Structure 1
Amino acid sequence: MEKRRVVITGIGAITPIGHSATESWQAARNGVCGVAPITAYDTADQRVKLAAEVKDYQPENFLDKKEAKHMARFTQFAMIAAREALQDSGFNAEQADLDRCGVIVSSGIGALQNTEDEHDRGREKGFDRVSPFYIPMSICNMAAGRIAIDAGFRGMCSCPVTACAGGTNAVGDAFHYIRDGYADAMLCGGSESAVTPLAVGGFTTMKALTQSEDPSRASIPFDAERSGFVLGEGAAILLLEELGHAQARGAKIYAEFVGYGVTCDAYHMTAPLPDGSGGAKAMALALADAGAKPEDVDYINAHGTSTPLNDAGETLAIKTVFGDHAKKLAVSSTKSMTGHMLGAAGAVEALFSALALKEGYLPATINYQVPDPACDLDVVPNVGRDSDLRYALSNSLGFGGHNGSILLKKWEA
């Protein structure tokens, strides 16, 4: 089967460090930390006090008040990012075959706040009195469904629910779907909004979250003092197109999507394989999918969650795949700025990787202070830097043992 070329032609985002893709990337270039005290609820009775929330968010600044009323927060974020991506791309639905345009958008948790609120309502007034919008607002696939309705895209519409790997699976699956001839354009990415008492409590009791109250020492990937991740929220959506389809309409191109690898550890509910072999296989498969060599890669946007097991295991996995070349690689974690956005993380990091290639810039791992011998790669500590990049890899490793890697290439006409 002929493998068609796929490019990124539109980007949109709303993140803890910006209300658009442009704002978010500029903040990432500037090393802005999006971690701050939680404002969504009173944390007095809980041990975790920090999160990476979307700041100063008012739905009516982005969406019609009536339509926003029946969208959960994660769906609002996804819709905002999708509309930005479409506008950014200059895509004209009236000139496209909408049966060959689809949507794949991940969410790991969906509208958990709605579940908490409606459960309280049911306990108080009876469960036959919960909102009729509860189910259609809360299910994880609704962000993808609402985007398809809004854009008029009638092709495949799906929602990978693979925890922290979901955003990467969404963009990777969309890439393959176009490459193999099933679609011409796909809106893809991830959205998450789970800064709630129940989610934070659940992650706290399983010892996944840091309990640091210092925003500058909370999300600290690869640092020897890391003690857990910081929960983030937001969305990122990319428009992928078959190259000829994009060129025919004169689209600008951010980067070429060239490889995707996915595996499962088949090992443990939450812990990665200690030797990192599952993640290593995903990276190797992404390289093979692209026909690229390990030495071709210049930058890795790491999963880099700031948990002891993940960062050490991912470092080992990178060394397994890249050998001596690992010492020459830049490997940074933008989660040091955005926190861990769960099902949206891989999408945001794919977007950042595309812009890193386009602008020749390596975003930093900020707030890095104490080196860890188990994480002894070039983590681009504290300050980003200019660099001539040709290939960038982005990793996501999720609960359940889900591993995904995507490989992007600098656009060369």
Structure 2
Amino acid sequence: MEDSHLNLQFLETDRIGIYFGNNSGGWNISERGFEELYKFGPTFVNPWQATAWFPAAAQGYISIANSIHGTSKSYVADKATGGVAMFSAINSIKRGDNDIVICGGTEAPLTLLSGICHYEAGELLDKNDEKEGILPFCSKSDGTILGEGSSVLILEEYEHALDRNAPIYAEIKNISTNFGDDSLELNMENCLVQSKLEYKDIDLLLPEANGIVKNDNVENQAISNLNLKYNHQPNLKFPKKYYGHLYGAQASTDVIAAILYLKNADKNSIKTRALINNRSKEGINVSIAIEKID
């Protein structure tokens, strides 16, 4: 909020919303509660446990701490959690529910019980040498790595940002979503059509590329089909290779990463537009088209 010059004293806080993704909740306090219950009985369990592990805890905390009263939502949708939150955040502005949305996500899944649950789901990278990180589009390595962290964007209409002299890093041209492995390619195309962009206009592509071979094969095929169809190959980048998968915080982190990639691109080649994919194992597809603003 400080970086975006968002001074709540001069804004209607009932027109500011909070849209957050959180997939794994407050596992740490939950695990402590289980231990307290087992060893000492129910009267020793922290009374805040029920709200601390609830996925809406992060959104609620931000709202209470800053006295923000606009339309707000929390989302849980596996690896598409952050993308679904951002999709809904932008639609809340388009509908006129909010003028500004604090949008992003947060995850802290690196606890004993949470780690076991993720491991039993069969999607974690099962190897001793984790230094290589997630290896996207690589059939020799199957599995993702959990990351911890949070990232937040301030979203608003362009004119509204100009009126309050806010620094503008990029424009989200469009976010589209659909369901099904065979619909990813269509969703990417629909996102661009609704953005009034063509595939050849995309300089940078950040795929989901979570290292799970089955999921990567679906996405790799969709990208290959578009490359062939439009005779264009955007530059591919895989930022989550370096910090793991952030689930609820992944989409907002990818947007930030894409902006930084575009900003620091070779000065001899102008790069301004990026397409980002965020998708769940169940096939919830979210595609985000952004354009850098200097």
**Same fold per superposition (TM over 0.5):** yes
CA distance in structure 2 between the partners assigned to 1:216 and 1:231 by the alignment = 13
Counting only pairs closer than 5 Å after superposition, residues 329-340 of structure 1 correspond to structure 2 as 329-340=234-245
Code of the aligned partner of 2:263: K
CA distance in structure 2 between the partners assigned to 1:319 and 1:232 by the alignment = 28
Counting only pairs closer than 5 Å after superposition, residues 141-152 of structure 1 correspond to structure 2 as 141-152=56-67
The equivalent of 1:114 in structure 2 is 29
From the superposition, tell whether residues 238 and 294 of structure 1 become closer, same or farther in structure 2 (CA, over 3 Å). Answer: same
User: Are 2:97 and 1:215 aligned?
Assistant: no
Code of the aligned partner of 1:352: A
CA distance in structure 2 between the partners assigned to 1:183 and 1:247 by the alignment = 16
Count of aligned positions:
294
Selected match of 1:346 from 247, 251, 255: 251
Code of the aligned partner of 1:174: A
From the superposition, tell whether residues 278 and 386 of structure 1 become closer, same or farther in structure 2 (CA, over 3 Å). Answer: farther
CA distance in structure 2 between the partners assigned to 1:143 and 1:399 by the alignment = 24
Q: Give a deviation string over 1:73-125, Cα, whole Å, max 9, x none.
A: xxxxxxxxxxxxx0111111112122211100110121122222211111111
User: Are 2:148 and 1:243 aligned?
Assistant: no
CA distance in structure 1 between the partners assigned to 2:59 and 2:48 by the alignment = 17
Counting only pairs closer than 5 Å after superposition, residues 75-114 of structure 1 correspond to structure 2 as 86-114=1-29
Q: How far apart are 1:171 and its partner, in Å?
A: 1.8
Unaligned runs of at least 5 residues, structure 2 = none
Q: Give a deviation string over 1:58-78, Cα, whole Å, max 9, x none.
A: xxxxxxxxxxxxxxxxxxxxx
Partner-residue secondary structure (3-state), 2:80: helix
* CA RMSD in angstroms, aligned pairs only: 2.0
User: TM-score with structure 2 length normalisation?
Assistant: 0.93
Q: Which moved more, 1:304-313 or 1:281-290?
A: 281-290
Selected match of 1:388 from 249, 254, 270: 270
CA distance in structure 1 between the partners assigned to 2:157 and 2:270 by the alignment = 26
Counting only pairs closer than 5 Å after superposition, residues 226-305 of structure 1 correspond to structure 2 as 226-265=141-180, 273=181, 277-305=182-210
User: TM-score with structure 1 length normalisation?
Assistant: 0.67
CA distance in structure 2 between the partners assigned to 1:309 and 1:346 by the alignment = 21
Unaligned runs of at least 5 residues, structure 1 = 1-85, 266-272, 362-384
CA distance in structure 2 between the partners assigned to 1:326 and 1:105 by the alignment = 37
Partner-residue secondary structure (3-state), 1:143: helix
The equivalent of 1:406 in structure 2 is 288
Partner-residue secondary structure (3-state), 1:173: helix
CA distance in structure 2 between the partners assigned to 1:409 and 1:247 by the alignment = 17
CA distance in structure 2 between the partners assigned to 1:355 and 1:386 by the alignment = 16
**Would you say the 8 A contact 1:300–1:330 is kept in 2?**
yes
Q: How far apart are 1:196 and its partner, in Å?
A: 1.7
Q: Percent identity?
A: 26
Code of the aligned partner of 1:202: C
